[in-house]
Structure 1
Amino acid sequence: MELRGLDRQNLKHENGLDAQRLVPWPALNAPFEGSWCVIRPGTASTPHAHHEYEIFIAVKGEAFLESQGERTPFVTGDIVHFPPGIEHRVVNESGEDFEMYSVWWDLEMTEKFAARHGERAS
């Protein structure tokens, strides 16, 4: 077993939120990447779209998702999927941190995973 810990004191501020990329790491053969994200009270992530597929998993708190002209509550236990090219952001209007985990993947990551998997099986 190998554990990769979250360093809450040294999250990197990017895209309007504080984050730590936890995946990839060398010991894990995964077809995706992922990041722990904290949206501070009264702030929002930067609106963006990208070529990857992405899911957000709400871990703690309450926020809103804004995408395609819609605004939807996003609370602990919820999960949302964004296809490639869809602009989105998370807005935290509460008085507490909103915490979530973001996972994204694309064809290139999947192909690299398949190649690594084949090498390990040999």
Structure 2
Amino acid sequence: MQVISRNPENFTEEYNVILRRLFPANEQCIDSNIPFSSSWVIVEKNKFTDPHRHDLHEVFFITEGEGILNIDGEEKIVTSGDVIYIYPNKEHTIKNKKDNKLIFLTIYWNK
């Protein structure tokens, strides 16, 4: 078993937000053969992730807050408890327009 804390001291700025890489792209990970990668992401008030696309499958698990998700120009409000699947090569970004932090876990993998 391995547990990696969501301690904010371990987050860095990437994609215009604050994130913490987890498995396997983390110096604490004990198994580099895990077939997916994951990160905690914190989007502060009035911030958004840099729009980007990649050839990976990706799922967002919204754990706190509310945001506006844009995938290839289609926008949808997402909130705590929502789970979003993003197909490979779709440009996506998520913005936080609320006073509270928007926090989500992302898991991404190759097919």
What is the root-mean-square deviation in Å for CA atoms of aligned residues?
1.4
Tell me which residue corresponds to 1:91. Answer: 95
For residues 64-116 of structure 1, the C-alpha deviation after alignment (integer angstroms, 9 at most, x for no partner) is 10112211011001011111110000010001110000100004xxxxxxxxx
Question: How far apart are 1:9 and its partner, in Å?
Answer: 2.3
- Partners in 2 of 1:56 and 1:47 — Cα distance? 15
For 2:61, the equivalent position in structure 1 comes to: 57
User: Which structure dedicates a bigger proportion of its chain to helix?
Assistant: 1
> Could you say which residue in structure 1 is the equivalent of 2:78?
74
One-letter identity of the residue aligned with 1:80? I
1:1-122 correspondence to structure 2 within 5 Å: 1-24=1-24, 25-27=29-31, 30-107=34-111
Q: Where do 5+ consecutive residues of structure 2 fail to align?
A: none
Q: Unpaired segments of 5 or more residues in structure 1?
A: 108-122
- Supply the AA of the counterpart residue of 1:90: I
Bigger radius of gyration: 1
SS of the residue 2:5 aligns to: coil
1: CA distance, partners of 2:39 / 2:10: 13
Q: Within 2, Cα distance between the matches of 1:101 and 1:11?
A: 13
Identical pairs, percent: 26
TM-score for both structures, normalised by structure 1: 0.82
Name the TM-score, length of structure 2 as normaliser: 0.89
Distance in 1, matches of 2:10 and 2:108, equals 22
